[in-house]
């Protein structure tokens, strides 16, 4: 019988003539894998099964593996090899705990997880697909194994668009630890000083594409706010803490994150008075500021509480000539010092721009044995998830799910069938894998590994579901995701995330995809747009500028030639898009913030900014991976397209003095000119 596990999306039984096997033997209608040579992955899988069933001392582990020729030699040699294996398992998200010279993989979840419905399995897979495509390799492995165990490896139809949280690789460990575990982290502060700390995370927030965590810091014995992209990759998730420091008031801890960076710190807050310029001063109001009443027709002043004047100076510089600090003197001096530093940084001519190449984001490279171990664990989970005696899969679809070739699938099946099985399991007891009449047949024993999720896998899946709930516009899907959290034994607020900003990935063949193509090519479009309650759909000629996302709803910012004004269009109400062979225009009086993500003008001028290495993660998150380039000497550069250098100058000024505008000369001059004009206000 063909079981529907979502792996064969064709709806028909595959014929043997349709299969393109790499190995001739594997192409036979009935095939049993030959016995392979042992590999590290088989030993790691056996360790997982052994230590997830019982606690073992090293001498017992050596005895169990003796027949396989593993952990031979002296006790010290065996111990070193075993510890290296434990480190590899921890890289897969499987924690090996040592207690009194005995080792054990702790039981995963505290209660049995009910079987998910098909709709819930699809929802959790969609959550992982939408919001966590750029997480670290360790998190991807945990998600892959976890999805396999709960039977959520379904192939998903391409969504018209995907939303993704610009999540740093450290997000999942922090979310997993929130209010239940401690973390050992390496942290680099804004001054470039590095230290190792033990923190107890309380809450997380995303604002302006930057992630922050509020936590108790053991080193300072106080609550602190940490920027996630300044935390070293791979923070260590410590064992269950007997005395995790909890916030006195969680709502207060969350509200601390709702405040702005200049409100953080231990200094006593002081009130700063601002003078706002322009016809719409409220548009320039910094977060948390209060606008006073208008007096005698003059622009009303604004007042804001500030703890950190240096951080607030960055915001003042980003707002350019629209804001002036009136009082107190200490805040005015902080702004003036930054402006002096900006002028000093750009004094003289810039060095020539070197030849640049695209920046490739650093990601942990998975070793072959870890990658194979992950696939073996996923195969075991896939085999066990249905709960039947045997599961049958279309081999091509199975290869797509595992992201491997048919030759690799053949070798993995051979390992599971003939090698994995440390006593008391024998070869073939864990998984019996073979190919029968064009299908891959998997039979799995009911073993501890696949009966429950590990704590790390459950945390990864729950965090993905929780993040998806923040940006998912469909109420029904949000309810399904809440049900998944319940099945995982996680409270809905166990991963407190506030205001996640999202990027938009538009799929080809959709209105969003066509608009994204037009934006990249700077081409005018004809769209058919329907506004409910305003008659039939209307054809419009627009200049598309930006795709944006508000709580999962996709919007288009564009100049509408029919009304001669800037308009916002909901993309799901655009019935059709026709891209024209005409360039778009860029009116310079458009009311879009100059530092808006990926929107800085028509792009006929490329501004190149030299940035330090610790700014790369922030720059790629805010402006996109393709905005950062690297030189042959390892230097990093931010490349921003613009059509109005003066309009971009406040954004560039806020990056100084650690960043330097190196090209073109007019952009460098614009930053210096703006800095000097602003500096004159503080003399």
Confidence (pLDDT) at 181: 80
Residues 102 and 23 grouped into a single domain: yes
Confidence (pLDDT) at 24: 36
| Mean pLDDT score of the chain | 75
Confidence (pLDDT) at 53: 75
Confidence (pLDDT) at 265: 65
Please determine, for residue 105, whether its predicted confidence score (pLDDT) is greater than 90. no
pLDDT digits (tens, 9 = 90+) for 633-644: 889 999 888 767
Q: Could you tell me if residue 359 is inside a domain?
A: no
> What is the maximal distance between C-alpha atoms in the chain?
92
Confidence (pLDDT) at 675: 94
Please determine, for residue 490, whether its predicted confidence score (pLDDT) is greater than 80. no
Confidence (pLDDT) at 100: 81
Confidence (pLDDT) at 144: 74
Q: How far apart are CA 126 and CA 385, in angstroms?
A: 18
Q: How far apart are CA 338 and CA 285, in angstroms?
A: 20
> Domain range spanning residue 490?
118-168+453-498
The CATH number for 209's domain is: 2.30.30
Residues 274 and 330 grouped into a single domain: yes
For the chain, what is the domain count? 6
Q: Is the dihedral of CA 212, 469, 504, 592 positive or negative?
A: negative
Extended beta strands in 94-251, E state: 97-99, 102-104, 161-164, 183-188, 194-207, 210-217, 222-227, 236-237
Residues 241 and 277 grouped into a single domain: no
Work out the end-to-end distance of the chain between its first and last CA atoms, rounded to an integer number of angstroms.
Answer: 83
Confidence (pLDDT) at 242: 57
Q: Could you tell me if residue 526 is inside a domain?
A: yes
Residues 30 and 81 grouped into a single domain: yes
Span of 65-79, 92-106, 195-209, 583-597 with lowest mean pLDDT? 583-597
Q: Could you tell me if residue 458 is inside a domain?
A: yes
Of the three residues 583, 616, 647, the one that is the final residue of a domain is 583
What average pLDDT score do residues 12-19 get?
Answer: 32
Confidence (pLDDT) at 541: 93
Residues 330 and 295 grouped into a single domain: yes
Residues 98 and 20 grouped into a single domain: yes
Please determine, for residue 312, whether its predicted confidence score (pLDDT) is greater than 80. yes
- Residue scoring higher pLDDT (208 or 597): 208
Span of 258-262, 323-327, 468-472 with lowest mean pLDDT? 258-262
User: Reduced to 3 states, what is the DSSP secondary structure of residue 147?
Assistant: helix
Cβ-based neighbour number of residue 3 at 10 Å: 14
Residues 146 and 187 grouped into a single domain: no
Q: Could you tell me if residue 376 is inside a domain?
A: yes
Span of 16-20, 107-111, 573-577 with lowest mean pLDDT? 16-20
pLDDT digits (tens, 9 = 90+) for 530-543: 876 566 788 999 98
Confidence (pLDDT) at 456: 72
Please determine, for residue 57, whether its predicted confidence score (pLDDT) is greater than 50. yes
- Residue scoring higher pLDDT (413 or 673): 673
pLDDT digits (tens, 9 = 90+) for 116-146: 777 887 888 888 877 776 666 667 777 877 7
Provide, rounded to the nearest whole percent, the portion of the chain with pLDDT above 70. Answer: 71
Of the three residues 583, 614, 641, the one that is the final residue of a domain is 583
Confidence (pLDDT) at 137: 65
Confidence (pLDDT) at 110: 42
Please name the residues in contact with 618: beta carbons below 8 A apart, sequence gap of 6 or more.
Answer: 210, 229
Confidence (pLDDT) at 333: 94
Confidence (pLDDT) at 461: 86
Report CA-CA distances (Å) from 409 to 26, 434, 435, 445: 10, 11, 11, 20
Q: Could you tell me if residue 186 is inside a domain?
A: yes
Residues 435 and 468 grouped into a single domain: no
pLDDT confidence bin for 596, thresholds 50/70/90: very low
Q: Could you tell me if residue 141 is inside a domain?
A: yes
- Exposure letters 649-680 (e unless 16+ CB within 10 A, then b): bbbbbbbbbebbbbbbeebbebbbebbeebbe
Span of 42-51, 110-119, 542-551, 621-630 with lowest mean pLDDT? 110-119
Confidence (pLDDT) at 10: 32
The 3-class secondary structure across 68-93, one letter per residue, is: HCCCCCCHHHHHHHHHHHHHHHHHCC
Helix (H) or strand (E) holding 566: strand 565-570
Residues 674 and 608 grouped into a single domain: yes
Q: What is the pTM of this model?
A: 0.61
What average pLDDT score do residues 382-387 get?
Answer: 59
User: Reduced to 3 states, what is the DSSP secondary structure of residue 279?
Assistant: coil
What average pLDDT score do residues 237-260 get?
Answer: 73
Cβ-contact 33, 417 below 8 angstroms: yes
According to the per-residue pLDDT averaged within each range, which of 286-300, 401-415, 544-558, 634-648 is highest?
Answer: 634-648
Confidence (pLDDT) at 365: 45
Helix (H) or strand (E) holding 539: strand 538-550
Extended beta strands in 376-476, E state: 391-393, 431-436, 439-444
Q: What is the phi/psi pair of residue 396, to 5°?
A: -65, -45
Please determine, for residue 199, whether its predicted confidence score (pLDDT) is greater than 80. yes
pLDDT confidence bin for 680, thresholds 50/70/90: very high
Helix (H) or strand (E) holding 525: strand 523-529
Q: How far apart are CA 163 and CA 549, in angstroms?
A: 8
Report CA-CA distances (Å) from 451 to 111, 145, 569, 614: 11, 12, 48, 42
- Residue scoring higher pLDDT (602 or 99): 99
Confidence (pLDDT) at 555: 80
Confidence (pLDDT) at 450: 47
DSSP-derived letter for residue 261 is G
Please name the residues in contact with 117: beta carbons below 8 A apart, sequence gap of 6 or more.
Answer: none
Residues 147 and 207 grouped into a single domain: no
Span of 290-299, 308-317, 439-448 with lowest mean pLDDT? 439-448
Cβ-based neighbour number of residue 631 at 10 Å: 14
What average pLDDT score do residues 460-478 get?
Answer: 81
Span of 53-57, 104-108, 126-130, 317-321 with lowest mean pLDDT? 104-108
User: Reduced to 3 states, what is the DSSP secondary structure of residue 240?
Assistant: coil
Residues 443 and 457 grouped into a single domain: no
Confidence (pLDDT) at 289: 74
Closest CA to 378 of 64, 147, 664, 621: 147
What average pLDDT score do residues 561-581 get?
Answer: 84
Q: How far apart are CA 363 and CA 373, in angstroms?
A: 19
pLDDT confidence bin for 516, thresholds 50/70/90: confident
What average pLDDT score do residues 470-481 get?
Answer: 80
What average pLDDT score do residues 386-408 get?
Answer: 70
Confidence (pLDDT) at 611: 92
Q: Could you tell me if residue 476 is inside a domain?
A: yes
- Residue scoring higher pLDDT (671 or 429): 671
What average pLDDT score do residues 669-676 get?
Answer: 94
Confidence (pLDDT) at 139: 73
pLDDT digits (tens, 9 = 90+) for 138-190: 677 778 777 777 767 654 444 556 666 767 778 878 887 887 788 889 988 76
Provide, rounded to the nearest whole percent, the portion of the chain with pLDDT above 90. Answer: 10
pLDDT confidence bin for 342, thresholds 50/70/90: very high
Q: Could you tell me if residue 468 is inside a domain?
A: yes
Cβ-contact 284, 322 below 8 angstroms: yes
Confidence (pLDDT) at 593: 40
Instruction: Extract the tokens encoding 539.
Output: 């054809």
Confidence (pLDDT) at 225: 86
Q: How far apart are CA 619 and CA 598, in angstroms?
A: 11
Confidence (pLDDT) at 50: 83
Confidence (pLDDT) at 161: 60
Residues 33 and 65 grouped into a single domain: yes
Confidence (pLDDT) at 447: 53
Confidence (pLDDT) at 253: 74
């Amino acid at each position: 019988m063909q079981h529907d596990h979502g792996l064969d999306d064709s709806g028909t039984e595959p014929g043997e003539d349709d299969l393109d096997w790499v190995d001739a033997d594997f192409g036979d209608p009935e095939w049993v894998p030959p016995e392979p040579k042992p590999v590290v992955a088989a030993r790691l899988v056996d360790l997982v099964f052994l230590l997830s069933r019982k606690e073992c001392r090293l001498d017992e582990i050596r005895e169990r593996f003796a027949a396989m020729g593993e952990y031979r030699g002296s006790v010290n040699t065996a111990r070193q090899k075993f510890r290296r294996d434990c480190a590899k398992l921890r890289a897969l998200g499987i924690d090996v705990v040592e207690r009194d010279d005995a080792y054990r993989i702790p039981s995963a979840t505290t209660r049995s997880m009910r079987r998910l419905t098909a709709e819930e399995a699809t929802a959790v897979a969609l959550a992982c697909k939408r919001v966590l495509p750029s997480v670290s390799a360790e998190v991807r492995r945990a998600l892959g194994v976890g999805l396999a165990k709960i039977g959520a490896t379904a192939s998903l139809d391409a969504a018209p668009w995907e939303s993704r949280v610009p999540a740093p690789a450290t997000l999942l460990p922090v979310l997993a630890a929130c209010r239940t575990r401690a973390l050992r982290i390496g942290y680099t502060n804004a001054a470039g000083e590095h230290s190792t700390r033990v923190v107890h995370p309380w809450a997380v927030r995303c604002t302006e594409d930057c992630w922050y965590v509020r936590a108790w810091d053991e080193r300072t014995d106080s609550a602190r706010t940490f920027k996630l992209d300044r935390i070293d990759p791979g923070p260590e998730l410590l064992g269950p803490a007997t005395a995790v420091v909890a916030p006195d008031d969680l709502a207060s801890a969350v509200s601390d994150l709702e405040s702005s960076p200049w409100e953080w710190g231990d200094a006593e807050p002081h009130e700063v008075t601002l003078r706002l310029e322009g016809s719409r001063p409220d548009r320039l109001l910094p977060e948390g500021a209060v606008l006073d009443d208008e007096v005698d027709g003059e622009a009303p002043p604004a007042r804001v509480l500030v703890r950190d004047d240096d951080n607030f100076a960055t915001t003042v510089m980003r707002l350019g000539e629209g804001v002036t600090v009136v009082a107190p003197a200490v805040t005015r001096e902080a702004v003036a010092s930054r402006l002096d530093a900006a002028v000093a940084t750009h004094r003289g001519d810039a060095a020539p721009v070197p030849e640049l190449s695209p920046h490739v984001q650093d990601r942990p490279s998975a070793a072959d044995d870890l990658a194979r171990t992950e696939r073996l664990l996923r195969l075991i989970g896939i085999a066990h998830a249905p709960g039947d005696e045997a599961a049958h899969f279309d081999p091509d679809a199975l290869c797509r799910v595992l992201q491997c070739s048919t030759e690799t699938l053949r070798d993995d099946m051979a390992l599971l069938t003939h090698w994995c099985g440390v006593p008391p399991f024998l070869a073939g007891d864990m998984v019996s894998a073979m190919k029968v009449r064009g299908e891959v047949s998997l039979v799995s024993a009911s073993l501890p590994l696949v009966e429950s999720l590990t704590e790390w896998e459950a945390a990864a899946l729950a965090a993905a579901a929780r993040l998806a709930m923040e940006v998912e516009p469909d109420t029904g899907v949000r309810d399904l995701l809440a049900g998944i959290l319940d099945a995982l034994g996680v409270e809905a607020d166990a991963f407190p995330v506030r205001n996640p900003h999202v990027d938009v990935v538009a799929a080809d063949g959709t209105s969003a995809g066509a608009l994204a193509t037009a934006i990249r090519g700077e081409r005018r479009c004809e769209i058919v747009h329907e506004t409910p309650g305003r008659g039939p759909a209307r054809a419009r000629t627009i200049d598309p500028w930006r795709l944006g996302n508000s709580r999962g709803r996709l919007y288009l910012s564009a100049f509408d030639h029919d009304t001669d004004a800037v308009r916002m269009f909901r993309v799901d109400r655009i019935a059709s898009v026709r891209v024209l062979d005409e360039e778009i225009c860029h009116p310079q009086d458009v009311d879009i913030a100059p530092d808006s993500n990926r929107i800085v003008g028509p792009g006929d001028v490329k501004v190149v900014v030299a940035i330090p290495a610790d700014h790369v993660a922030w720059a790629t998150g805010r402006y996109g991976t393709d905005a950062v380039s690297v030189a042959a000497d390892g230097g990093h550069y931010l490349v921003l397209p613009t059509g109005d250098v003066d309009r971009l100058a406040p954004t560039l000024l806020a990056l100084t003095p650690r960043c330097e505008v190196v090209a073109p000369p007019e952009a460098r001059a614009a930053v210096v000119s703006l800095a000097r004009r602003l500096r004159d206000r503080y003399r």
